[in-house]
Every structure is written in C-alpha cells, then in structure tokens.
Amino acid sequence: MEPVVQGTAIRRAIDTFRGLWDEPDVLSRAPGRVNLIGDHTDYSDGFALPMALPFDTAIAFATTGDTGTGVVRIHSVGFGELEITGSDDDDVPGWARHLVGVVELLEADGIAARGWSATIETDIPTGAGLSSSAALEVAAINALLHRAGLDWSPIEVARLGQRVENEVVGLQSGIMDQYISAGAVEGHAGLMDCRTLSLTPTPIPSDAAIVVMDTDTRRVLADVAYDDRRSSCERAARRLGLDALRDATFADLARITDETDRRRARHVVTENERVLVAVERFAAGDLAGAGTLMNLSHDSLRDDFEVSGPGLDVIVDVARDAPGCLGARMTGGGFAGCAVALVGCDDVEAFTVDVLDRYDFDGHTARLWVCEPSAGASVGRPE
C-alpha cells in the first residue's frame, strides 16, 4: 500500500517556481476524484456520488506580462514545457489543450487571461480515470479568476471546465469531474443532482474505508466509446419523448425498440435509483447495503453499459473476495484505469495486502490507496 502524501504537488510547484523565476503571486490547487456510485448518469441529468481525493494538481502562478496579450509560460515536470502565445494556440500537445481552452474561454467571457508564468505539478495519477484533466482545468480557472478579483461559485467554475472539454478538447463529457473537484467538502462525498446542479455533502461513516485500486491498465480510444454511449442515451430519451433519461422509469424501457439502446438506458435508470438508495444506506450506517449497490453498479456498467474493461473486471473480482470488502466497482468513464472498493476499516490492511498479492492481469501490478474524502479546490497567496 502506498502512503498518500498530501501536499507534495503544492510544495513542488512553489519550490520549482522559486528555483526558475521568483515568488509566485498565487497558489491554486484542485483535487482529482473517485466516484463511489453513479457512473454515466451525469449527461442524462442523473445522480452521482463522487468524492475528492487527497491528490492535487497545483499551480504556482505569477503575472509576468500584459494580461490581454502577454505570453503564457508553463513549466511542469510531469507534463512538459509550454508557451501559449496566442498565434499558434491550436498547435499544442494534448494536455495543454485544457489550458489553452481555459485561456480562450475566459477571454471570450471578457476576462483577461494571458501574461502569466506558472509551474504545474500533480499528485494525481494521470490517465487512470481519476480526473487529472478536470483538476488541471479547475486549478487554472481559479488562478485566473483570483487574479481578476472574481469569485465564482463551484458550479460556475465547473461549467467553464466542462465547456473546455466539450468545445475545445472535443470530448462530450458531463459535469461530474469538474464539479466535485471545484465543490467537494472535506470528510464528505457529494450527492450530485446533474439536473438541478445541487451538490449535497454526504458523510461517509467512519468505520468505512475507501480504497482506490489502479489496475495499471490505460484507456485506448475511450473518447469514441464515450461519445457512442452518450448518443445511445440521447436516442433512447428522444424515443421516449423525454428531455433526458433522468425522467425515464423502468416500465418505459420496453418502449425502446433498439436492443442496445434499451440496455444502455436500463443502466441509467437503475443506476440513478442505486445512487439515491446508496445515500440512504450510508446515512443509516448500513455499509453492507451500500457495498451491495456498488457491486450491482459495476455489474450494470459491465453488462448493460459495456464500459468496464478486462483489468477492471479482474481487480473488482479479486477485491470482492478480499478480507473486509463490502463492495467494489469500476469508477468514472471506464475501460481501464481505476476501480474503487468500500472496505471495513478494521480489515483495510489485510484487504490491500490480499488484493496486491492476488491481482494478476497481463503482467500488470496494482497500486492501492486508502483515501479520505478530501476538500475541493482552493486558491490564495502561497505560504
């Protein structure tokens, strides 16, 4: 089991900034997330129960040029070096599209977003389905809003981050990742209603441990499959004459003639219900009940929505047989990356040892982290 050393990204970003340049004016951090239950529901106006992880992306930032026209300089050990000049903004590496998108969309909103230098560091495993991109967007948006003297609500920040994905990066993702990164409350998961956009802090009982399990597998062409699933859900809703599958009932499903769309819709309808019942189970301290719903969620994502992956299925099966496991499922977009388990606190050490020992998929070695629900993004003067 790897210890989670919170805050090293923050320290590294500040130290690197001082080593390269001078004193940063602003420190902005935003966490990655794990979703406990409710996947592929956000873009159907549904429910989800994510929590922020004790892993941050941190940006140390200073204004170094004209805020309307100046160059943006990024130095990042994890990502690389970059200059955003305004003339060739489309010609940047994949990770930097998220930053270019933040700059362009803020400018389009009339907020000066250029003329800065920053170091960026992250503790979030990248490409693992823990929303490192959303954290980067949220941290960058907050840094620039702070400089402009603006104080947006978490949902406003999240919506801009989602627009970066949808309009600049070209992925039709929902609001979940950016919203929990911007709006999480320490010690709580957040019940997210993706129609009303409420985010209700939901305590996780203290006798439960949340274990994030990285299969060490990574997604290939997941964007295409994601957009395909989203289209299926939109078609099914149209077929039922509804705005979104959020409004569909189990009885409605029989009216969806396309067999694949019907299964996709069945996942969304049953998953929304599972989220709401899971929140009740957590509130009642019924961890076994919550864990059972997590297991059902995985099975539905695997069989009806078909977004699990072989490594994910292996680690979920291994976890379910490990000491103290109450439930285990894939988390997030799926296909590869991380799964999550709900484990009784007393057994967490035995659980992690057993999963690490027995996980065996195609030569991959698992990594496990026991994670407390952590605080959402923050921004201010560096210490």
Does 40 sit near ligand GLA (CB under 6 A)? yes
> Rounded distance, CA 228 to CA 232, Å?
6
**Cβ atoms < 10 Å from Cβ of 108:** 11
What phi-psi label fits residue 136: left (phi over 0), alpha (psi between -120 and 50 degrees) or beta?
alpha
* Known active-site residue 177: yes
Among the listed ranges 5-13, 72-80, 171-179, 207-215, the one in contact with ligand GLA (CB under 6 A) is: 171-179
The minimum distance between CB 165 and ligand GLA, in angstroms, equals 7
CB of 42 to ligand GLA, least distance (A): 5
Given 177, 193, 252, 354, the catalytic residue? 177
> Which residue lies nearer to ligand GLA by CB, 76 or 297?
297
Closest by Cα among 287, 268, 286, 184 to 230? 268
Smaller CB distance to ligand GLA: residue 30 or 176?
176
Closer of 24 and 101 to ligand GLA (Cβ): 101
201-240 residues in contact with ligand GLA (CB under 6 A) are: none
Q: Which part of the chain contacts ligand GLA (CB under 6 A), choosing from 92-100, 170-178, 257-265, 366-374?
A: 170-178
Site for ligand GLA contains 264 (CB under 6 A): no
Please, which of residues 325-344 interact with ligand GLA by CB under 6 A?
Answer: 332-333
List Cα–Cα distances, 291 to 97, 128, 209, 221, 297, in angstroms: 38, 22, 11, 30, 10
| CA separation for the pair 21, 13 (Å, rounded) | 12
Question: With 0-12 CB in 10 A as exposed, 13-18 as middle and 19+ as buried, what is 90?
Answer: exposed
164 within 8 A of 137, measured Cβ to Cβ? yes
Paired strand residues for 212 = 340, 369
Q: Is 51:189 a contact under the CB 8 Å cutoff?
A: yes
Minimum CB separation of residue 177 from ligand GLA in Å reads 5
Q: CB–CB of 82/73 below 8 Å?
A: yes
Q: Of 1-9, 174-182, 211-219, 288-296, which segment contacts ligand GLA by CB under 6 A?
A: 174-182
Closest to 129 measured CA to CA, from 208, 230, 50: 50
Q: Is 42 in the site for ligand GLA (CB under 6 A)?
A: yes
Q: Is 101 in the site for ligand GLA (CB under 6 A)?
A: no
278 near ligand GLA, judged by CB under 6 A: no
Nearest to ligand GLA of 116, 305 (CB atom): 305
CB of 148 to ligand GLA, least distance (A): 26
Question: Residue 31 or 174: which CB sits closer to ligand GLA?
Answer: 174
Q: Residues 177, 252, 261, 354: which binds ligand GLA (CB under 6 A)?
A: 177
Among 46, 115, 174, 327, binds ligand GLA (CB under 6 A): 174
Q: Supply the minimum distance, in Å, between the C-beta of residue 298 and ligand GLA.
A: 13
Q: How many residues bind ligand GLA (CB under 6 A)?
A: 10
Task: Name the one range near ligand GLA by CB under 6 A: 73-81, 173-181, 203-211, 308-316.
Answer: 173-181
Q: Is 137 in the site for ligand GLA (CB under 6 A)?
A: no
Q: Which residues bind ligand GLA (CB under 6 A)?
A: 39-40, 42-43, 173-174, 176-177, 332-333
The catalytic site residues sit at 177
